[in-house]
Every structure is written in structure tokens, then in C-alpha cells.
């Protein structure tokens, strides 16, 4: 009679272990399925001012395939998802992932091309004052700088094909 309780306890433990194993296996399968449904993230671009950084994925990106001009113009004209505030004279550092730098990238501010030749670097630094247009003022008054600027980073290959676009809003810090 001493044998039966041990066998029963052993079979209960084995049943419990197999249920736990099945539950763990089910969780692994569900996790793998959930991950396979996710989209592959696009390369990131970022802007850093002082100790503050804003990063974003591309507004337009098709896994490195060419993007037609019309689509790129639409993407670049959309509202930026990320913004960062700058003081006058602050250094603004722009960083891109190596995948973007391998092709090259150009910088636009408020739709104006700022860097005529594509950069193959992952990092560039600018003075924040370069980003703000000077607004015409009343006759006889000093020009007034704009309060915000839309910065566009556009990946472009050696053939002039657009590959992706990232954008940020820069806001001038108010005194």
C-alpha cells in the first residue's frame, strides 16, 4: 500500500509538468506568430539638441526601393511626428543609421534644399539659426526670424533615386 501513493503523486507531477510544458510551448508559438505579423521597422533618423534627442522612423520608406517624386513630396509635406525645441545658436546634430548613409542623404528645411550634395556620413552638425527663415517685417524694422522650421532628411542614391524621407519640426525657444 505504500507503493500506490508514490505512483499517484508521480503521475500527478508528470501531468502537471506536461500541462506546464504545453502552456509554455503555446506561449512561444503565439509570441512567434505575433512577431511575424509585425512590420519590419524602417531605419531611424534623429535630431539632438543638447541632451534632448528626437528619433523617428521614416514617413516614406519601401524597404530600400525607389519612391516616386510625387509620393515623396506628399510625405515631406505631411506634419512631422516629432519635434524639438532649440535656443538661438544651439548646435543641432542630425544622425542617420548606416543604411541611410550608405546611399547618401540630403537635408531640406521648409522645402528648400540645404545640402546640395548627398552626405555619406551618419552624423552632421549645424547651428540652429541656419534652420529658421527670416520673415519679412514692416519697412524700417529688422527682419523677424520664424518660430519653427520643418527639417526633412531624404535618402537618395547615386542615381538620384529617392529611397526614404524623415522629418522633424524644430521650434525656436521663446525667451
pLDDT tens, position by position, 33-43: 444 445 678 89
Is this model's pTM higher than 0.85 or not?
no
Q: What is the full per-residue pLDDT of the chain (175 aa) written as tens digits? A: 555 555 554 445 555 555 555 544 444 444 444 444 456 788 999 999 999 999 999 999 998 899 998 898 888 778 888 999 999 899 999 999 999 999 999 999 988 889 989 999 999 999 998 898 766 556 766 666 788 999 999 999 999 999 999 999 999 987 7
Same domain, 129 and 159: yes
Same domain, 23 and 52: no
Same domain, 15 and 65: no
Q: Is the dihedral of CA 120, 121, 122, 124 positive or negative?
A: negative
Same domain, 90 and 49: yes
Same domain, 66 and 21: no
Over residues 122-132, the pLDDT tens digits come to: 999 999 988 98
Q: Is the dihedral of CA 160, 130, 87, 136 positive or negative?
A: negative
Same domain, 12 and 92: no
Question: What is the C-alpha separation between 41 and 170, in angstroms, rounded?
Answer: 24
Structural domain total, the chain: 2
172: nearest Cα among 74, 90, 85, 95: 85
Same domain, 3 and 48: no
Q: What domain range is 73 assigned to?
A: 44-172
Same domain, 77 and 11: no
pLDDT at residue number 76:
79
Amino acid at each position: 500500500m505504500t507503493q500506490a501513493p508514490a505512483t499517484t503523486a508521480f503521475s500527478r507531477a508528470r501531468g502537471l509538468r506536461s500541462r506546464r510544458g504545453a502552456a509554455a510551448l503555446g506561449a512561444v508559438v503565439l509570441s512567434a506568430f505575433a512577431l511575424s505579423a509585425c512590420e519590419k521597422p524602417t531605419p531611424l533618423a534623429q535630431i539632438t539638441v543638447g541632451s534632448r534627442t528626437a528619433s523617428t522612423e521614416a514617413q516614406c520608406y519601401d524597404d530600400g526601393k525607389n519612391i516616386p517624386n510625387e509620393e515623396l513630396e506628399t510625405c515631406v509635406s505631411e506634419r512631422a511626428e516629432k519635434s524639438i525645441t532649440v535656443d538661438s545658436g544651439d548646435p543641432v546634430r542630425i544622425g542617420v543609421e548606416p543604411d541611410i548613409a550608405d546611399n547618401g542623404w540630403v537635408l531640406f528645411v521648409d522645402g528648400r534644399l540645404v545640402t546640395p550634395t548627398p552626405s555619406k556620413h551618419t552624423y552632421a552638425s549645424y547651428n540652429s539659426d541656419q534652420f529658421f527663415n527670416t520673415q519679412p517685417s514692416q519697412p524700417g524694422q529688422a527682419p523677424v526670424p520664424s518660430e519653427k522650421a520643418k527639417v526633412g532628411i531624404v535618402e537618395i542614391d547615386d542615381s538620384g533615386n529617392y529611397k526614404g524621407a524623415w522629418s522633424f519640426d524644430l521650434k525656436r525657444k521663446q525667451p
